[in-house]
Amino acid sequence: MELCMDNSSSIQSNKNGFQIHIERDSSIIYKTPNSDPNVSNGVSAFITQEELDRFQAVWWSPTSTRLLYERVDETSVRSLMFVCPGREAAPPMKYPVAGTDNAISQLRIIMIDGNAVVDCGLKEPLKSRFPWVEYIARAGFLNDGKTVWVQVLNRTQSQASLILLPESEFEGFRSTGPILNASIVKNEVSSAWINTHNSIVPLDSNISTIEFIYAIIYELLYYRSTRRYAMVMRPSNYETNRCYPVLHYIYGGPGIQLVRNDYSTWIPFQKYTKLGFVVVMLDGRGSSNRGTDFEFPIFGKLGQCEVEDQVEGLREVAQIMDGMLDLTRVVVQGWSYGGYMSLLALAKYPQVIRGAVTDWKLYDTAYTERYLGYGEDRDPFYEESSVIKHVDKLPDQPGRLLIVHGLLDENVHFRHTEALIEQLIKAGKPYQLQLFPSERHGIRSSDGAAYLDASILNFIQQALKE
């Protein structure tokens, strides 16, 4: 339930999100007229939630007399089935695989005057007015309570615009003055992709001078004249002049920064340092929060320079740490994009990486097309970035690859692991598979997490045996 600004009305969606109910004085005064299971009102599309971090799809005006909402039509989106052996099949899930149709979103306004309600769509859909629009990233009202603002993106997310929609753009509007048209007030175009802007910027530029700030020192690595960032966790039993096995934890993909001055980053890896491992994390090209020049080299080239940066960065760390890292005993571990990276690192640098723990990663429209592009002319980029192309380079020795996957993962579907395993079998490459029937994209249960930790530790110890 969501209250309007003056608490006079509230809204809620019915069980399946097909309808919005508007209540006033404990009575429902309006229901959106819809019963199509492919159409939802006031619920953002899966891809919008997953990749654009927008979970809101209803917005009250400051005057509490208008309600902007999103209507999502998933009729043309491909349905996927999730089957877990021994269980009933789950209902089909609408999932836009890269290169296929996305859901169609429309903005509508409900105008409220006492108990009188009018539901209005745009006179001309955004897609008709601006044909390049694919995603609604953000939306809301201006302070006048009448004008709608909407931030939109094209399909490859290389163009972002801020559009103002006066109430005259909506059906049912009665003119009492000059009629205004939709207008783009801000437009941004990139040669690669545009990150969604969520940063808070002070309106007051006359902020008092900061007189003191605590200094934080980072170790910086340089490879091919490009700065890299690394974090090293020493073993609990650390002694100088000793050489220790290495757990190299990898993410390496866009949107994530591992190396930061945050204690929570270290906590999950204390179990490894307690057992005598050096834990290494690296942020190379493609990782987040260090500028577009640092992020953009991976555009159209996923799985290339970021893998190189991880392995070459590890070698540089070993030199800086002056013999503490035993580069003959290195295991890489990664989850999600880090699993994809772990597989490629093992395939491309088997002489460095003794073992890899991975979950498999291929993805949806918004994420994949943001970094690899959209259209048949981009097929070579997809092929080059696929792990399947590099399966034949994986080690022939058993005990060097552990694949982990939750069968209920609605984010990275198990069919990707199936495709990988098929290629491993064809190539005669050994692997170990750990399945979690009741887990999703991350291991959420305490029993599952403890079991996974034990399995990974056992795998690492076996992989590093002389």
* 33-36 long-range contacts, CB within 8 A, separation 24+: 33/119, 34/71, 36/75
Contacts of 70 (CB under 8 A, 6+ apart): 41, 42, 43, 44, 57, 58, 105, 106, 107, 108, 136, 139
- Catalytic (active site) residue 441: yes
> Locate tokens 């039993």: which residue?
237
> Locate tokens 């069968």: which residue?
407
Closest to 310 in 3D by CA, of 221, 245, 404: 221
Select which of 64, 288, 326, 441 is catalytic.
Answer: 441
- Catalytic (active site) residue 379: no
Select which of 44, 409, 413, 416 is catalytic.
Answer: 409
111 CA to centre of own chain: 35
Select which of 336, 342, 385, 386 is catalytic.
Answer: 336
91's tokens: 């209902």
Query: Are 385 and 367 in contact, with CB atoms under 8 Å apart?
Result: no
- Catalytic (active site) residue 248: no
* Cα distances (angstroms) measured from residue 405 to each of 216, 264, 336, 414, 456: 37, 24, 10, 7, 13
Known catalytic residues are 336, 409, 441
